[in-house]
Chains A and B, each alone.
Chain A
Amino acid sequence: MNASIDTTPEKKKTSHGLFIIQAWLVLLLAAFFGAALAGIQLSLAPKIEANKLNETLDKVPELILGAEAARTFKDSGREMNIDRQYMTTGTKTYSVFKAAADNELLGWVIKAGGQGYADKIELLVGVDKNIAGITGLFILDQKETPGLGNKIMTPEWRRQFINKPTQKPLTVVKTKADAPDQINAITGATISSRAVCDIINQSLNNLRQPLENAATATQQTSDNPQETK
């Protein structure tokens, strides 16, 4: 009995030490794997970051020039300079992409978001250099009802936004849209359709002044005489 009591603390002591010794493999592997992962992260991180940015940047030429013109533009070998800016109006901050080629301002792409029917809708809307008309629309992220609201992603529906004037807010109509400020609702998804229009209206309304200011600033610095009014 006495002997067993005596040995207990001793045993505990040795087993504590043993845990560390036994875990040598875990520690070694952890160090090794950690180093390997660090290496991979170092080599891949720039590419992943570039992917994230390109996701939006890739869309800019198409949104400003239209799909067809964007392709010919690219084939002609001209370079489009896309400049990302942040514009704050009131409480909201927008990411705005300024597109220019050969010192000539081509247009703007605004990244905007707002509440849809199911969840937030994030979209890109392109406007021409005078902020007079919409040149394109792309839905980045949405979780609308599949089969109804998610049709806002379809090119057929998005196409009707092209060349819409920005002076008057866009309105959604259920029947045939004939006025220039009208957008056809998706059948059965009036709320989603209206949400997209509201996001566009609101962001254009908020950004009209800052964009015009920025545009005149660009024109002053550029040497292109066609730009000045």
Chain B
Amino acid sequence: MNDTPNTTEIPQDDTKRAPAIQVGHSPHLSDASFTTRRMMIDVLIALVPVVGMAVYVFQFYAVFQLAVCLTTCLAAEALFTKMRQRPLSLFDFSAAVTGVILGLSLPATAPWYVGVIASVVAIGIGKVIFGGVGMNLFNPAMVGRAFVMIAFAGAMAASGYESLQTGIDAITQATPLNAFKQMGISTPLKDLFLGLTNGSLGETSALACLIGGAYLCIRRTASWEIPAGVIAAVLVMGGLADIFGSSDNWTVIHHLFSGSLLFGAFFIATDPVSSPLTPKGKFIFGAGIGFFIMVLRFFSGYPEGVMFAVLLMNAVTPLINRWTIPRVMGE
């Protein structure tokens, strides 16, 4: 039903490109197809060290999970855009990015249907229903992951990460955050930093996330304000907990390098569509995510909170935009 007005709108937009400043939905680009594509390729390049580390640690399991998510995301994108009678948008690589990020956020041993269903939900409910690239309210990959997290609690909760039959060292251990939450066992910082621990495929290595993230920020594909906000909030809250909390051996630096915090800060939260427009807004957005991550880690039953934190802050993004977009004088 919505098809008719929208398809007529697109050519209008092209002819109306003249006016100087337009404030509308991000991404704010002069030529959408080219730049979206450039950005997405940048993200894929930045993900190379993370994917490399995932394959190194989890071997075949990482390849399998990524392949499942990537192919399902691309197939779902093709199918849904066809259903909406839109031009095929596979070559802007946004679906590919969603697929890779989704795959990297799953446990290595998750069964195949988890990846498939997460991908279909991510593209279908997370993106296409809202109107496709640039229109989605929530980060598609996180929508997909949240769906399977609740649907298949057994495969996705902390216990889903551990398995004794894989023959891969990392998978036999509890994830660092879960080991700490359940048994108070702290993981050495060096392991957390390099990433030879159990966890979601992409989150284990802080180093790989930092390398990829630095590339994204230097290329300005990702706004540095968002990861800065996340890290600042985590440092403040973790620091306060260190000072006033019990003297356990899980410090603020452990918080920073463990779980999917850095992966989320650099690759998930920086999605330009579902984050605010202004630098100030972006910093608030990042800080909000950091705040919720710490609240969820401290007080919720889940060991990790990046996914819910990102989704929560996605929901208030329009509000942040309202607060921080400068008003035209006299308005």
Which residues on A are within 8 Å of B, measured CB to CB?
Answer: 117-118, 145-148, 187-188, 190-191
Report chain A residues within 8 Å CB of B152. 147
A187:B301 contact, CB within 8 angstroms: no
B182:A148 contact, CB within 8 angstroms: no
Report chain B residues within 8 Å CB of A187. 154, 159
B228 at the interface (CB under 8 A from A): no
The distance from the CB of A14 to the nearest CB of chain B, in whole angstroms, is 55
Report chain B residues within 8 Å CB of A191. 301
Report chain A residues within 8 Å CB of B154. 147-148, 187-188
Report chain B residues within 8 Å CB of A118. 301
State A148–B160 Cα separation when bound (angstroms).
11
B319 at the interface (CB under 8 A from A): no
Report chain A residues within 8 Å CB of B158. 188
20 contacts between A and B (CB under 8 A): A117-B301, A118-B301, A145-B157, A145-B301, A146-B153, A147-B151, A147-B152, A147-B153, A147-B154, A148-B153, A148-B154, A148-B157, A187-B154, A187-B159, A188-B153, A188-B154, A188-B158, A188-B159, A190-B182, A191-B301
State A148–B182 Cα separation when bound (angstroms).
16
State A191–B154 Cα separation when bound (angstroms).
14
Most buried by B among A118, A148, A190, A191: A148
What residue in chain A is nearest B153 (Cβ atoms)?
Answer: A147
B301:A188 contact, CB within 8 angstroms: no
Report chain A residues within 8 Å CB of B301. 117-118, 145, 191
Seed contacts A147-B151, A191-B301; 8 additional CB < 8 Å A-B pairs: A118-B301, A145-B301, A147-B153, A187-B159, A188-B153, A188-B158, A188-B160, A190-B182
State A117–B17 Cα separation when bound (angstroms).
56
Report chain A residues within 8 Å CB of B159. 187-188
Which residues on B are within 8 Å of A, measured CB to CB?
Answer: 151-154, 157-160, 182, 301
Report chain B residues within 8 Å CB of A148. 153-154, 157
Report chain A residues within 8 Å CB of B182. 190
State A187–B182 Cα separation when bound (angstroms).
13
What residue in chain B is nearest A151 (Cβ atoms)?
Answer: B154
Report chain B residues within 8 Å CB of A146. 153
What residue in chain B is nearest A148 (Cβ atoms)?
Answer: B153
Most buried by A among B152, B158, B159, B160: B159
State A150–B119 Cα separation when bound (angstroms).
27
State A118–B159 Cα separation when bound (angstroms).
18
The distance from the CB of B307 to the nearest CB of chain A, in whole angstroms, is 16
Report chain A residues within 8 Å CB of B151. 147
State A187–B154 Cα separation when bound (angstroms).
8
Report chain A residues within 8 Å CB of B157. 145, 148, 188
State A191–B182 Cα separation when bound (angstroms).
9
Report chain B residues within 8 Å CB of A145. 153, 157, 301
State A188–B161 Cα separation when bound (angstroms).
10
State A147–B152 Cα separation when bound (angstroms).
7
What residue in chain A is nearest B160 (Cβ atoms)?
Answer: A188
State A191–B178 Cα separation when bound (angstroms).
13
The distance from the CB of B154 to the nearest CB of chain A, in whole angstroms, is 6
State A146–B157 Cα separation when bound (angstroms).
12
What residue in chain A is nearest B157 (Cβ atoms)?
Answer: A188
What residue in chain A is nearest B182 (Cβ atoms)?
Answer: A190
What residue in chain A is nearest B159 (Cβ atoms)?
Answer: A188
State A117–B182 Cα separation when bound (angstroms).
13
The distance from the CB of B305 to the nearest CB of chain A, in whole angstroms, is 16
Report chain B residues within 8 Å CB of A190. 182
What residue in chain B is nearest A191 (Cβ atoms)?
Answer: B301
Report chain B residues within 8 Å CB of A147. 151-154
State A135–B153 Cα separation when bound (angstroms).
31
